Structure 1
Amino acid sequence: MKKNYVTIKDIAAAAGVSINTVSRALNDKPDINIKTKRKVLEIAKEMGYVKNVTASSLRNRKTKTIGVIFEDSSNPFFAEVLKGIEKGSREKNYNIILMNTEKKYDLERKAIKLLLEKRVDGLIITPTQEKSEDIKELIKINIPFVVVGVNFENIDIDEIYSDDYYGGYLAGKYLIENGRKKFIMLNGFSYKSVAKERYLGFKKALDEYNIKDFTVYELEEGLENAYLKIKELIEKNIFFDGLFCYNDIFAFGAIKALYENNIKIPDKVNVVGFDDIAFANVLNLTTIRINKEKLGYDAFHRLYKKIKGDKNRIKEKLGVELIIRNT
């Protein structure tokens, strides 16, 4: 059933004043009698008036809304990034429309199209990086946007991401200094800058110690995929004692497989994750910490400046740190 919203015309008729007077009262203008203003506001409240933001945005050509596109909003990593975006948006009285692409490029393109049709003022996006055409199209149509969490090296756009290379290096160095000899890395797909940089940093640490005995497996993201890969390696009697995981979700799946096969952690195998999501502390996981809330907060404020007309392009790289626990 269609809802019949109360209009300012309805309020004006009930209050016995002009539409212009109602408008001034609802918008808190100073040039209105206090008694009249109170009367109008009381009647508006009694009638259940809801401001028509859409009409206002059409007049101002601003919706005070941004679109946020994540590749997997069920991942706790993105929940913490979103917390930072929300904190920034509240400071500037902006609203958020969140879309999830499930790491699929076609869904990413559809999400961008839908949000642009909603006339959002700008976008914060974590792209799949499988292809870059959609990012190039955003540049072409001149919509303010900020990429968060990944880095397009050859495209001049605003980005905020973590130092994945150094994080991979810290993970490798930690495993080596713990006396580990044979290494496995469970990585994401290398077309993503995150996976590529974490691998290169990890490899640099191994190269410094002249270690050549390591294997990298690229997997579709998800706890179950990491679990199945480690289970497979154990069943094939493939030995390893140092395990670096692309993210904490991979690490959780790997640990599950190791525990099920009575392989003690950290006695027999050291495991290092990446991201330091909330559950990492609960499971006592050694991991690389990213300041995820700052990632989101800085992304929003960068976007806000672009919406306000800032033409500069900024690539901001946030530091990471090794958090040693008991894996």
Structure 2
Amino acid sequence: MIKISRGSFVTIKDIAEKAGVSVNTVSRALNDKPDINPQTKEKIEQIAQELGYVRNIYATMLKSNVTHTIGVIMPDSSNPFFSEVFKGIDKAARENNYQIIIMNSEGLYENEEKFLKTLLERRVDGILLFPMQKSYEDIQELIKEHFPIVLVGREIDGWNVDEIFSDEVKGGYLATQYLIEKGCKKIKIITDQLYNSASYGRLQGYKKALKEKGLTFSEDDIKICEGIHEGYHVKAGYDKTVEMIRKKEEFDGIFCYNDLIAYGAIKALKENNLKIPQDVSVVGYDDIAFSRLIEPELTTVKVKKFEMGYEAFQMLYKRIKSKKSDNSSTRKVLDIELIVRKS
């Protein structure tokens, strides 16, 4: 877990006093100089970790405590969805003379935790984060210290933190409702692991639409993919669809967590001589650019990606500028839209 102290960062003098050694000894230990007793070095490093010490890379900027730099941690830079969100962040940042340090966590908590610490070392003024569930403890620490942070594309109910996200329940509902209106009776969902509000919300919308129409579903209809944040979205959609076909599962509609998964599902259906949408209808999510170009053109849920990024930066910038340690928070929910095409 990371520790910070915004405005009064832990110094090597603090570490020296607690360790009972000189400032020079602490400096040499933390900079891996060879002439330090190993036991002393280990003691100093342990104290530094306990105090939440982070190295000051931009010492000259620390005087004003402003670097005009923000950090952005995304789970998957290979996904065009996040590229579009970043375009919005970048435009807003440039308009306000801010620079960006962007990091790709690959959906792994250990990367996210490491990157959070790195960004704090760089003395960024604030952070935009697409959070993993396991990172909630770190987020709590940032909130407690009133460090400017905005959660993007995810929500955490009941938390005093700025966040911006889409109406995921509505998105899942509209996608499933469309499939039902197309005459689908047995609808599968291929989704991400249910550790974030996006996947959970879309699943809730899926269930709500089915229940309203009196259609049954079982846990076996919910296909959860592993490792899709590592760039394997298309393969995940392909593999899950092939698996359903081989098991001779009954289905005439597929709702996919994102467009990339839908591309994989469509490829699998075509290879098995199933016509889209005559035999199986497919709906994606995000409306990335390529969805207009595949065959058949993909019906999908449009997310306001650029707006999400642009507004996220504005929220963070306002938090940075306010310099207030209050307990208020801003929560923005972006509407979504079903884009009907040919799948």
TM-score, normalized by length of structure 2? 0.78
Q: Which residue of 1 aligns with 2:293?
A: 282
Deviations 1:198-219 (A, max 9, x none): 0111111111110004511111
Deviations 1:214-239 (A, max 9, x none): 51111122221221111011112112
Unaligned runs of 5+ in 1: 1-52
Asked if the contact 2:112/2:135 (under 8 Å) is kept, the reply is no
Say which is worse superposed, 84-93 or 217-226, in terms of deviation: 217-226
Counterpart mapping for 1:304-323 below 5 A: 304-309=317-322, 311=326, 312-323=328-339
Larger radius of gyration: 1
Q: Which residue of 2 aligns with 1:156?
A: 160
Q: Which residue of 1 aligns with 2:309?
A: 296
Counterpart mapping for 1:100-139 below 5 A: 100-139=104-143
Q: 2:199 aligned with 1:200, yes or no?
A: no
Q: Which residue of 2 aligns with 1:263?
A: 274
Q: Which residue of 2 aligns with 1:144?
A: 148
Q: Which residue of 1 aligns with 2:99?
A: 95
Q: Give the SS at the match of 1:132.
A: helix
Tell me how large the CA RMSD over aligned residues is.
Answer: 1.5
Deviation at 1:319, TM superposition (A): 0.1
Asked if the contact 2:189/2:256 (under 8 Å) is kept, the reply is yes
Say which is worse superposed, 94-103 or 122-131, in terms of deviation: 122-131
Counterpart mapping for 1:1-327 below 5 A: 57-213=61-217, 215-220=221-226, 221=228, 222-283=233-294, 284-309=297-322, 311=326, 312-327=328-343
Identity of matched residues, %: 49
Asked if the contact 2:71/2:102 (under 8 Å) is kept, the reply is yes
Asked if the contact 1:130/1:192 (under 8 Å) is kept, the reply is no
Unaligned runs of 5+ in 2: 1-56
Deviation at 1:282, TM superposition (A): 1.5
The whole-number CA distance in structure 2 between the counterparts of 1:182 and 1:152 is 32
Deviations 1:122-152 (A, max 9, x none): 0000012244111111112321010000011
Asked if the contact 2:154/2:196 (under 8 Å) is kept, the reply is yes
Letter of the structure 1 residue corresponding to residue 335 of structure 2: G
Q: Give the SS at the match of 1:207.
A: helix
The whole-number CA distance in structure 2 between the counterparts of 1:55 and 1:188 is 42
The whole-number CA distance in structure 2 between the counterparts of 1:178 and 1:188 is 25
TM-score, normalized by length of structure 1? 0.81
Q: Which residue of 1 aligns with 2:18?
A: none
Q: Give the SS at the match of 2:341.
A: coil
Letter of the structure 2 residue corresponding to residue 235 of structure 1: R
Aligned residues: 275
The whole-number CA distance in structure 2 between the counterparts of 1:58 and 1:187 is 44
Q: Give the SS at the match of 2:133.
A: coil
Q: Give the SS at the match of 2:309.
A: helix
The whole-number CA distance in structure 1 between the counterparts of 2:75 and 2:65 is 29
The whole-number CA distance in structure 1 between the counterparts of 2:201 and 2:217 is 20
